Amino acid sequence: MDVSIAPSAVAGDARAPPSKSYTHRAILAAGYSEAATVADALVSADTRATMRSVEAFGGAVDRAGSTIEVRGFDGRPEIPNDVIDCANSGTTMRLVTGCASLGAGLTVLTGDDSLRSRPHGPLLDAIAQLDGRAESTRGNGQAPLVVGGNVQGGEVSIPGDVSSQFITALLMAGAVTESGIDIDLETELKSAPYVDITVEVLADFGVEVERTDAGFAVPGGQSYRAEGGTYHVPGDFSSMSYLLAAGAVAGDEGVTVHGARPSAQGDSAIVSILERMGADVEWNQAEGTIDVSRTALSGVEVDVGDTPDLLPTVATLGAIADGDTRIVNCEHVRYKETDRVSAMAEELGKMGASVTEEHDTLTIHGSETDLVGADVDGRHDHRIVMSLAVAGLVAEGRTTIKGGEHVDVSFPGFFDVLDGLGATVERS
């Protein structure tokens, strides 16, 4: 689907979807339990992949709107009857790989072309350290994966700078092993707030995690039990970032974003980033609302080591701001659904942005940029699509984004929300 955006002012109230990160973890945590309800969930292409995985391991999933009823496998995953297709969801594949390592038999996991190009080697090696079986069928650390071995726990050493999802997978699986898992981080942990999210969700399911000098430890023999039988998913700050950015660059009369209650999400840093850039933004944490309106922005330096999903949003803001916006510590952002560093450099470049791309740094020269409408490629990546849509609000002329349907991965209805705020949106 192609989506065209014309220069537009936006105003009014909007609500970002529930958190994708929390929803993934909550669905799988419910699967590890005997039974649980996940309320206010994000139902998207990615989270459906996690639901299918729970069912493949012997659970049952019933959904009514944003409420998901899960009958879990109570810490003892069955061996799936068929291959688990994780589609485009890297979170699903990595979290489910940990679960598959508990099985006495073997589970085969695969996904689409993009997912089969993403690295999983450190997680496979960690499972092997636990005497499990974890192999890439092509021997390159990429899916398809074959995983099993009835892991009982132990100690692992793993780099922390490839994907925090590896740590999450081990923590979630380790809680139901016999002896638990001690994780020794070989390098600094990147995207640390995502592990904080995991620890928060596990605590809400009654699972204890310990932070150690070496990294993390999760005692074995634990049971997943949601307090009161229900877990409520908070709003998603990654998705919220596009609405806040839209308000900051095109909200002449202001935009109010709802569902912004504090949580462990690192991407809530978008509020402080906007403040540093000079945006007119106010966060009422008690009410869970953020008000933002258009004002002149100035370039800043942003370290995305802990917030990789914000890179596309910040890059777009940088193209509209005065001065240089330097996005640093971003090498790991190259290993998402696409190489988001190069993707944003190239697609914003098509719109007239002056950009300097280095291996670990992306600099957008706002003072040398006048955005113009162009035909751009969303790269089959929901975050690239939504960020380019924000750029289209202020570019001179019409911007047409290829692959607009990919917003369904994390923000189904994104273009409806944008349209409701007054943007000129056409789909074909």
In this structure, which long-range contacts are made by residues 313-316, counting pairs with CB atoms below 8 Å and at least 24 apart in sequence? 313/241, 313/242, 313/245, 313/270, 313/383, 313/387, 313/390, 314/273, 315/344, 315/345, 315/348, 315/355, 315/362, 315/364, 315/387, 316/245, 316/344, 316/348, 316/387, 316/388, 316/390, 316/391
According to the annotation, is 340 in a ligand binding site? yes
The answer on whether 334 is annotated among ligand-binding residues is no
The string of DSSP letters for 385-404 reads HHHHHHHHHHSBS-EEEETG
* 3-state class (DSSP) for residue 31: helix
Question: Any binding-site annotation on 427?
Answer: no
Q: Is 90 annotated as a binding residue?
A: yes
309 is catalytic: yes
DSSP label at residue 286? T
Cα atoms in the 13 Å half-sphere on the side-chain side of 256 = 8
For CA atoms 188, 134, 335, 218, the dihedral sign is: negative
Is 163 marked as a binding-site residue? yes
For residue 182, the 8-state DSSP code is: E
* Residue 354, annotated as binding a ligand: no
* Helix and strand counts by DSSP (H, E) for the chain: 12, 24
Among 234, 218, 264, 205, CA closest to 30:
205
- Closest by alpha carbon to 202, among 226, 233, 182, 228? 226
Check whether 261 is labelled as a binding-site residue.
Answer: no
Q: Is 19 annotated as a binding residue?
A: no
Annotated catalytic residue, options 309, 324, 377, 381: 309
Q: Is 383 annotated as a binding residue?
A: yes
Q: Are strands 67-71 and 35-39 parallel, antiparallel or unpaired?
A: antiparallel
Task: Say if residue 164 carries a ligand binding annotation.
Answer: yes
Cβ–Cβ < 8 Å for 116, 110: yes
Q: Roughly how many angstroms between the first and final C-alpha of the chain, as a whole number?
A: 6
Annotated binding site: 20-21, 25, 90, 118, 163-165, 191, 309, 336, 340, 383
Active-site residue set: 309
Annotated binding site for 3-phosphoshikimate: 20-21, 25, 163-165, 191, 309, 336
Annotated binding site for phosphoenolpyruvate: 20, 90, 118, 165, 340, 383
